[in-house]
């Protein structure tokens, strides 16, 4: 079975194979560092992290690049408001970005290039376009002459004519035609600027991605990704710039994740309609947020409601409960279990997981396979365990952890308590059990409830009381 990926360019799911042997080059548009991240950014990051991990699981050597836009209009404005430099603003949000991504379990990219560190490459690219007569300079600004690129509109599925009909922006009088876009912007007073053949200025937004993608990954890349809102104009323009300059196909697969909505309205900073990642992380473990973001197919819209994360948390608890129960039961047979016998029922669900992932990264379906295994395990756990059932349980836990690993879930990075805290809990349990023997239920229940509020769940079993920590 082979991997199929939906390609925005062809509007079809296509068999995936890399341009070069075993190597996959992947560029994903990153964030502009002018404000906090929200769940929408988190979704894009997690989605492409999954794609990257799955390709790696498949044995490909993935070179993954995602950029930081560290200079643009909004950043300049924000820096002014905060009375700091654009550079300081960028530094602040980069640090926060890595910190939050780590909590979400997003692996670092191979490269995280910053726009301002690639001005030279951008200027070179603009020069090529200018020499070809595709770019033109007007009074310190440089524009891309869209009419000169015949393929313009192929990604967004619109012709130049259709686009022109919908123009509702104030057209810059310097442009020859409304849809020409800026490659280089003339410096304004008090703004960061760089020297160029056309005078002081700064790069337009689209050029950075073309320049950096080509620098790190070559003229043609396997996968280019980003949110659906970037299809037009950003990615359309990237294609125009890149392909006009090289004459080669820029990206073989264009992959776009659906947007996160709240009350069915797009989550966006510009509208004030958003949940920041920080807020979400204050209330829930990063793994819960990650799970939530994977609970819908990556191309579908994902509507956030106030209960979404609670629901995700409850679902994850189910898996963790089972894994812990299995660990308790199979503790003694670990060594033997490593022989890995084959159990057809387990194998078929294991297969379902990979078939789902192969089908354009269908994570909801893949997660369902995990839950079906959880159910099987719970059924076995109901009965008194014998050696054979322990072996099966061990195998199930192994498989769940392996599948979870690909999704970056269920790896048990749970809150650890130090020995003293554990001893304290044990004291409370011992005291409570004395109270229970004396049938002083009100006090016993109070202890249980208060521990519960701290995320420590007590389980009264036949002859002992055990405890565990919840993930949220």
Site for RNA in 180-239 (CB under 7 A): 181, 205, 226-234
Interaction residues for RNA, span 312-371 (CB under 7 A): 314-315, 317-318, 321-322, 325, 356, 359, 362, 364-365, 367-368, 371
**Please, are residues 225 and 48 in contact by the beta-carbon 8 Å criterion?**
yes
Interaction residues for RNA, span 388-447 (CB under 7 A): 436, 441, 444-445
CB closer to RNA out of 19 and 368: 368
Q: Binding RNA by CB under 7 A: which of 125, 308, 354, 361?
A: 308
CA-CA distance, 154 to 283, in Å (whole number)? 43
Residues 6+ apart with CB under 8 A from 127: 197
**Please, are residues 397 and 323 in contact by the beta-carbon 8 Å criterion?**
yes
CA trace torsion 134, 137, 138, 140 (10° rounding): 150
CB closer to RNA out of 162 and 430: 162
Region near RNA per CB under 7 A, out of 195-203, 243-251, 304-312, 397-405 = 304-312
Region near RNA per CB under 7 A, out of 35-43, 115-123, 133-141, 279-287 = 35-43
**Please, are residues 68 and 33 in contact by the beta-carbon 8 Å criterion?**
yes
Residues 6+ apart with CB under 8 A from 280: 39, 42, 289, 309
Interaction residues for RNA, span 119-148 (CB under 7 A): none
- Minimal distance in Å, beta carbon 30 to RNA? 6
CA-CA distance, 285 to 298, in Å (whole number)? 21
| Strand 181-186 versus strand 201-203 pairing type | antiparallel
Interaction residues for RNA, span 67-96 (CB under 7 A): 69, 72, 74
Region near RNA per CB under 7 A, out of 137-145, 240-248, 295-303, 334-342 = 295-303
- Minimal distance in Å, beta carbon 61 to RNA? 24
CB closer to RNA out of 302 and 337: 302
Which residue's entry shows tokens 């679902």?
315
- Minimal distance in Å, beta carbon 339 to RNA? 27
| Strand 12-15 versus strand 23-32 pairing type | unpaired
Interaction residues for RNA, span 230-289 (CB under 7 A): 230-234, 257-261, 264-270
């Amino acid at each position: 079975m082979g991997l199929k990926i939906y390609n925005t360019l062809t509007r079809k799911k296509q068999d995936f194979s890399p341009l070069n042997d075993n190597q996959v080059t992947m560029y994903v548009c990153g964030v502009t560092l002018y404000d906090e991240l929200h769940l929408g950014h988190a979704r894009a990051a997690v989605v492409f992290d999954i794609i990257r991990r799955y390709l790696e699981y498949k044995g490909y050597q993935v070179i993954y690049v995602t950029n930081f836009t560290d200079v643009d209009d909004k950043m300049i404005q924000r820096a002014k408001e905060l009375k700091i430099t654009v550079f300081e603003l960028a530094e602040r949000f980069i640090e926060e970005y890595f910190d939050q991504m780590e909590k979400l379990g997003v692996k670092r990219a191979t490269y995280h290039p910053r726009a301002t560190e690639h001005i030279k490459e951008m200027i070179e690219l603009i020069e090529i376009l200018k020499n070809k007569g595709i770019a033109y300079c007007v009074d310190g600004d440089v524009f891309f002459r869209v009419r000169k690129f015949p393929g313009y509109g192929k990604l967004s599925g619109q012709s130049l004519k259709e686009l022109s009909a919908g123009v509702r922006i104030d057209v810059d009088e310097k442009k020859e035609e409304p849809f020409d876009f800026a490659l280089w912007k003339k410096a304004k007073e008090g703004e960061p600027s760089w020297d160029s053949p056309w005078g002081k200025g700064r790069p337009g937004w689209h050029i950075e991605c073309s320049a950096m993608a080509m620098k790190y990954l070559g003229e043609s890349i396997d996968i280019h990704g980003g949110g659906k809102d970037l299809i037009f104009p950003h990615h359309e323009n990237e294609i125009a710039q890149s392909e006009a300059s090289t004459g080669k196909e820029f990206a073989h697969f264009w992959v776009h994740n659906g947007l996160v909505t709240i009350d069915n309205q797009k989550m966006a900073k510009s509208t004030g309609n958003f949940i920041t990642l920080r807020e979400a992380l204050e209330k829930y473990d990063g793994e819960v947020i990650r799970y939530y973001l994977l609970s819908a197919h990556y191309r579908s819209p994902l509507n956030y409601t106030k209960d979404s994360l609670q629901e995700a948390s409850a679902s994850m608890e189910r898996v963790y409960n089972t894994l812990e129960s299995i660990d308790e039961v199979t503790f003694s047979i670990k060594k033997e279990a490593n022989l890995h016998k084959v159990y057809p029922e387990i194998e078929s669900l294991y297969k379902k997981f990979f078939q789902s992932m192969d089908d354009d990264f269908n994570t909801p379906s893949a997660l369902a396979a995990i839950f079906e295994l959880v159910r099987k395990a719970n059924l076995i756990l109901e009965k008194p365990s014998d050696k054979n059932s322990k072996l099966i349980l061990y195998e199930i836990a192994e498989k769940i952890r392996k599948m979870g690993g690909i999704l970056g879930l269920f790896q048990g990075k749970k809150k650890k308590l130090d020995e003293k805290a554990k001893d304290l809990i044990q004291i409370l349990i011992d005291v409570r059990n004395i109270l229970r023997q004396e049938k002083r239920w009100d006090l016993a229940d109070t202890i249980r409830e208060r521990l519960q509020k701290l995320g420590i769940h007590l389980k009264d079993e036949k002859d002992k009381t055990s405890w565990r920590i919840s993930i949220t």
